[in-house]
Amino acid sequence: MNSESDIADFSRIGVIGAGLMGSGVAEVCALAGMDTIVIEASPEAAEAGMARIDKSLARGMKAGKRTEGDVEAARARIQMDNDLAALHDCDLVVEAIVENEAAKVGLFSELSDIVVSPDAVLASNTSSIPIMKLAMATDRPENVVGIHFFNPVPVLPLVELVTSLHTSKTTKARAEHFAQQQLDKRVIVSQDRAGFIVNALLIPYLLSAIRMYESGFASKEDIDDGMVAGCAHPMGPLRLTDLIGLDTTMAVAESLYTEFKEQLYAPPPLLARMCEAGLLGRKTGRGFYSY
């Protein structure tokens, strides 16, 4: 195995999905000097994704974290496209689509025929789906790894690195190099279990808060204030669920419950009803709170 100093930088990155997570991944890659191709399903979605990136870059410049030159250079490195074939020459592809197992498995199956380099790393930003399920949809499971970023990607320093039973040592080392050395992220390594480290701990906490609110035990404000003022959390659990997205929280909970069959992972009825109603949190303007 080569030493860290022998690992080559990634230079051409593909990001599939330009939602909250995908746009953030694309932004940090471009700011780090990598040519970044972002794939979205339609021109309208691509335009919305680019607007999201522009807004984030502007916030960084206003906060004094980026210069105008940094922003212009990053903007020039980002290319939007609607065709997966544009990823054919990427040396790293990061999938950041909806947290749906069937959709992700189907996408990884397609990537096998699209990404030309046999050494290219195929990564998923999934927050809960076991990496092995995605790896086995490809013709190169040893190149598949989980690189789980946290929202907002340009602000939060953490990345979870998740390897399956098939992930090669080389793939793991290259993914770690990308996150640590190229993006200056802090990396923690997890085994390939649904939810990994952070969500396996976080989701039961969020679900417990939803059950408490659903039962009438306490108001949403008091639940959130209790954890902020009493436990020094930066944000209460119900506001955090709104930030994450109720649909994403639901999907992660379902993935955890499917794997472990433990009641603490079972989604509360209120969460299911709110998802069915389209009350998904900040991204829809209403969840437990209105925005």
Cα angle 72, 75, 77; round to 5: 115
Beta-carbon contacts of 202 under 8 Å, excluding residues fewer than 6 positions away, are: none
Coil, helix or strand for 92?
A: strand
- DSSP labels for 172-224? HHHHHHIIIIIT--EEEEE-S-TTTTHHHHHHHHHHHHHHHHHTTSS-HHHHH
Q: In the structure, what pLDDT confidence band is assigned to residue 279 with cuts at 50, 70 and 90?
A: very high
Q: Please state the φ and ψ torsions of residue 221, each to the nearest 5 degrees.
A: -65, -40
Residues in the chain: 291
Q: pLDDT tens, 113-161?
A: 999 899 999 999 999 899 999 999 999 999 999 999 998 999 999 999 9
- C-alpha 6, offset from chain centre: 28
- DSSP labels for 95-111? E---S-HHHHHHHHHHH
The pTM for the full model equals 0.90
Q: In the structure, what pLDDT confidence band is assigned to residue 233 with cuts at 50, 70 and 90?
A: very high
Q: Give the residue numbers annotated as catalytic, written as ranges.
A: 127, 148, 160, 199
Coil, helix or strand for 70?
A: helix
Q: pLDDT tens, 148-167?
A: 999 899 999 999 999 999 99
User: 90-107: b or e for each residue (b if 16 or more CB lie within 10 Å)?
Assistant: bbbbbbbbebebeebbeb
Domain 4-190 in CATH: superfamily? NAD(P)-binding Rossmann-like Domain (3.40.50.720)
Instruction: Evaluate whether the domain defined by 200-282 bears CATH number 1.10.1040.10.
Output: yes
The answer for 17, left when phi > 0, alpha when psi is -120 to 50, beta otherwise, is left
Domain ranges of the chain: 4-190, 200-282
Mean of the pLDDT values across residues 210-214?
98
Q: pLDDT tens, 39-82?
A: 999 999 999 999 999 999 999 999 998 999 999 999 999 999 99
